[in-house]
Structure 1
C-alpha cells in the first residue's frame, strides 16, 4: 500500500475459532440460490470492518459476549447463513441448511483507537489483523458462510469484522442481516424487517433467452490480464462538500443534479484511463453496480436479502473519454444505470445458464459499487454507530479495477465519501495529479496522453 501507518506495532491475541449456531433449532432443508446469486464472480468471501468507540453507558458489558449472543439469536431468522454450500448438477449452488453455525473468533488487541489516528479512513490498513484467518485457497463450500471476529481494544472500543460469502447476499442484503443482528444485541426480540428467501424470483426462465445487450460480459482475450507480477500501490480519496461542489462546477447546468456516484465514478474513470495511457482507439468500460430491487414491477418484496444487482457497462473509446469534457463521462454513467430493468435482470439470469456462469470482462474495465446506502456505519450493537464501516479491502472482486464508494467522517469532523484505488506504481503519479486537479475544479486534461509502456496498457 502507498498509505503509511502512524500506528505503532501492536499485539493481537486470538482465541480458538468457534462455531456459533442458531439459539434454537431451525429448519433442516435445502434452498436453491438464484442465477443472480450463483455467478462465478461472486464465489468469494467479502469482508466488512466496523470500528466502534467506547460508550460509558455500556461499561459493564462485554461487546464480545453481547455480539456473540445476538448472533445466535439473529441466525434463528437468517438460518441459511448457518448452513453450508453444496454444488449440484451443472455446478449449481444451493444451501444445505444444516445449522452447523458460523465461524466466530474472540480477540484482544493491545492498542487504542487514538493510536490509529488517520488510519481509520477506509480501507482500514490494519484490517488483516482483525479478520478471521482462513486460507485464500480454501474451497468456499468447506467454509462457514459467515466469518466473524470481534476484537476488544485497550480503550474500551472494539472492531467487528464480518466476512460473508457473496453468493448469499449483496451489500443491501448483508446490511439487512446486520441491522437485525444489532437489534438482537440491543434487546429487540424480532427483526424490524422479516427476512425473505424467495430466490425463485431471480431464477432463469424456461427456456432461457437473452433479450438485452450485456457488454459487461463481453469475452475479451488478454494474455496479461491481472498479472500477479504487477506492482500495485494504493491511495484513498476523500470527497467532502468542497470537492463535490468543485466537480459539479465542471458540469453544464442540466447535469448538476446527478448523483454523487455519477460524479465520482466519472472522475475516477476518466483519470484512470488517462493514467494507464490506453490506446485512443481501444474500448474502455465502466461497470456500475445497480441495486435492482425497485426496478421490478412490483418491486422485490421487502426483506429479500439475496443478490439483486446488475453491473451494466458504459462503454466508449479511451480517446473519446479523455478528449471530451468531464460531462461526457458523467452522462455515460448516468444513462447506463437506467438500462437496468426487470427484463434486464431476467436476461442476466438467463445468460448465466446459457453461457456457463461466465465472468464479467476485466480487460480495460472498471467497476464501482455505491455502498453508502448499505449504511454499515449505522449498525448499532448498543455502543452507538460505528466510526467507520467499510470493506476491508480497497478493491471489489477479483481485479484491481474494481472499487467502491463509502461514507466516512474524517478526522476534522467533515462528512464525506471515500474512494479507495489501486493502480500500477508507474501510473499512480499521473492519476493522483489528475484526480486532485478535478477535485479542485480543474479539468484541463483534454488531450489523450502518449502511448505508455506496453506492460501498463496490457495489464489493466
Structure 2
C-alpha cells in the first residue's frame, strides 16, 4: 500500500493500486454538448457510497477483496460502453462553455484499505469518516471510483461524479446498470439516452419573467458584502469560518412514525401534503428558529428554503413508469430549484401546516412542463454567460443589512436512491448515501430511504454548525444520529 489519505479522525486509510478503467469496446472520439439545463450547474462534484459486510456469492462462499475488485472493474468496463459519457472529459469550447469530450479517457479506480471494522464506522459524522477517506477526490475526468477494504472483510464502494454531467436520477441509472452488469442480470436496467435535442430551446424563445427571480446570470451577481470583502482583503477570519458558523455534514435516521406524524400536522383544511413537503417545512421552521435565536432580530432577517424538482416526468407525455419514453432514460441534468423566502419570525410563528402550504405553492409552480421549457429558453437567452440558482447566492452589499444572519438551504429528494438495488453479486449494501459537502454558503439536505426498507428515512444534512446544534437540541426525537446499531451491525 502507498500513501496515507485522510490520516486524521478515527482511522487511517491506506491507498493502494490506482488504475484507469476504460470502456471495454473502442469508440470513436466525439463531442457531446451540455444541455441548457446542464449549464445551470457550476463545477461541483457529488459523492455516493455503499457499505457491504461479509461479501458472499450465491453459494455463500466468502469473496476476498481481490475478487471483489476484479468484479467491480470488469463490470465497470462493460457499463462504460453504454455510459460512455462517464469515461470522457469536460473541456471548454470556443465561447468558454463546458462541453463533454467523449474520448474514452476512462475512470480513475482507486483501491484502498481502512484500518476499521464496519461496525465501528462513525456514520453520524461523515466529515470525519467519509470525506477524504471513503469517498474519492476526483482529479480528472467525469467519474472516480474507490473500493475500500475493511478489517472485518467488508467493503465500501464509492463514486464521485461531476454534477454538470449527471444529476441524481442519472447517477442512480448508472449505478444500477453497473450492479446489474456485475451480476449478469437479465433484463439489464435502463440504457442511457444522450439525445440533447430533447431539451432544445423553442423558436421563438418564450421566457416567463418569473424565472428571473429563480436564476441569475453570474455577470449580474452583486459584489460580496462589505464586511466579507474587507476581511478577505485583510486576510482575517470571516464570519462563516467561525466554529459555530462553518458548514458541517451529519447523518440521521427519521422513523416512519415521525414522518407520518409530521405529515398529519402539515395537513389542514382537507389538504394533502407529501412526506417530503411536510419534512421540509418542519426543517425550515427549525432552521429559521435557530437564526432567530442567534440574531435576536425578528424584523430584518430572512429565511429561504428550496426543493429540487426533477423535470423528467413533467416533460414526457407518458408517466415515469413507461420506460419507452425517451425522457425516462435521459442522462443529464433535468432539474429546477424553486424556493420560498419568508421573514424568519413568520416561519417560526406560523403553524407547520401554513409553512407546508408555502412549500407546496412554490414547488407546484415549478412542477410543470411549461416551467422547464421556459427554463431551457431562459438559459438560451443568456448564453454564453453562465447562470446559477439564486438560492445558492448571497445578496449583495445593498442588501447586506437586511440579509445579515439570513439562512438558505436546499432539500433534494433522494427517494429514488437505489440502495436495495446495488447488489454486485455479493448481497445488498447495509447502507448507501450521497455525500455532498459542496462548499457553498447555502445548506443542502438529502433524505433517502433506509436500507432497512421499513419506511424510515436516512437523512444527509449539510448545514451550519449552529443550526445543527439547535436542531439536535430541539428535535432529538425526529433527527436521530445514524449508528451501526440502527443498521443492525452490532
TM bucket, shorter chain: 0.7 to 0.9
Match of 1:365 among 404, 408, 414: 408
Partner of 1:284: 303
User: Residues 31 and 386 from structure 1, CA distance in 2 versus in 1: closer, same or farther, beyond 3 angstroms?
Assistant: same
Query: What's the secondary structure of 1:48's corresponding residue?
Result: strand
Residue correspondence of structure 1 range 35-184 to structure 2 within 5 A: 35-41=36-42, 43-56=43-56, 57-60=60-63, 62-116=67-121, 119-120=122-123, 123=126, 125-127=128-130, 128-134=132-138, 143-184=140-181
Pair 1:331 & 2:357 matched = yes
Pair 1:354 & 2:359 matched = no
Give 1:220 deviation, angstroms. 6.4
Task: Check whether the contact 1:268–1:435 (CA below 8 A) recurs between aligned residues.
Answer: no
Partner of 1:294: 313
Partner of 1:12: 13
Query: What's the secondary structure of 1:15's corresponding residue?
Result: strand
Aligned residues: 421
Residues 397-437 of structure 1: CA deviation (Å, up to 9, x unaligned): 63342221122257xx9651133434444454433334348
Residues 98-131 of structure 1: CA deviation (Å, up to 9, x unaligned): 1110111112223221222xx2358474112122
Give 1:297 deviation, angstroms. 4.1
Residues 62-100 of structure 1: CA deviation (Å, up to 9, x unaligned): 211100110000001111211111211332222111111
Partner of 2:472: 432
Pair 1:406 & 2:406 matched = no
Task: Check whether the contact 1:281–1:319 (CA below 8 A) recurs between aligned residues.
Answer: no
Aligned counterparts of 2:109 and 2:361: Cα–Cα separation in 1: 43
Match of 2:423 among 380, 392, 402: 380
Give 1:276 deviation, angstroms. 1.2
Task: Check whether the contact 1:16–1:105 (CA below 8 A) recurs between aligned residues.
Answer: yes
Query: Which one is further off, 32-41 or 7-16?
Result: 7-16
Pair 1:317 & 2:343 matched = yes
User: Residues 63 and 212 from structure 1, CA distance in 2 versus in 1: closer, same or farther, beyond 3 angstroms?
Assistant: farther
Query: What's the secondary structure of 1:404's corresponding residue?
Result: strand
Task: Check whether the contact 2:89–2:101 (CA below 8 A) recurs between aligned residues.
Answer: yes
Residues 201-245 of structure 1: CA deviation (Å, up to 9, x unaligned): 223344544225133326666516795524335544421023223
Query: Which one is further off, 12-21 or 56-65?
Result: 56-65
Query: What's the secondary structure of 1:213's corresponding residue?
Result: helix
TM-score normalised by L of structure 1: 0.82
Give 1:49 deviation, angstroms. 1.1
Query: What's the secondary structure of 1:354's corresponding residue?
Result: helix
Partner of 1:416: 456
User: Residues 122 and 350 from structure 1, CA distance in 2 versus in 1: closer, same or farther, beyond 3 angstroms?
Assistant: farther
Task: Check whether the contact 2:38–2:165 (CA below 8 A) recurs between aligned residues.
Answer: yes
Give 1:153 deviation, angstroms. 1.7
Aligned counterparts of 1:284 and 1:307: Cα–Cα separation in 2: 27
Give 1:146 deviation, angstroms. 0.5
Tell me, which stretches of 5 or more residues in structure 2 are unaligned? 1-7, 229-237, 319-325, 395-406, 481-490
Query: Which one is further off, 64-73 or 372-381?
Result: 372-381
Residues 316-336 of structure 1: CA deviation (Å, up to 9, x unaligned): 332322221111111111222
Pair 1:202 & 2:221 matched = no
User: Residues 407 and 297 from structure 1, CA distance in 2 versus in 1: closer, same or farther, beyond 3 angstroms?
Assistant: closer
Aligned counterparts of 2:184 and 2:379: Cα–Cα separation in 1: 42
Give 1:163 deviation, angstroms. 0.3
Task: Check whether the contact 2:307–2:363 (CA below 8 A) recurs between aligned residues.
Answer: yes
Aligned counterparts of 1:377 and 1:400: Cα–Cα separation in 2: 30
Query: What's the secondary structure of 2:109's corresponding residue?
Result: strand
Residues 172-220 of structure 1: CA deviation (Å, up to 9, x unaligned): 1111011111111102487331211012222334454422513332666
Residues 134-173 of structure 1: CA deviation (Å, up to 9, x unaligned): 5xxx6xxxx1111100112222210011001111111011
Task: Check whether the contact 2:126–2:250 (CA below 8 A) recurs between aligned residues.
Answer: no
Aligned counterparts of 2:348 and 2:10: Cα–Cα separation in 1: 43
Aligned counterparts of 1:306 and 1:122: Cα–Cα separation in 2: 30
Partner of 2:215: 217
Query: What RMSD in Å do the two structures reach over aligned CA positions?
Result: 2.9
Query: What's the secondary structure of 2:285's corresponding residue?
Result: helix
TM-score normalised by L of structure 2: 0.78
User: Residues 335 and 35 from structure 1, CA distance in 2 versus in 1: closer, same or farther, beyond 3 angstroms?
Assistant: same
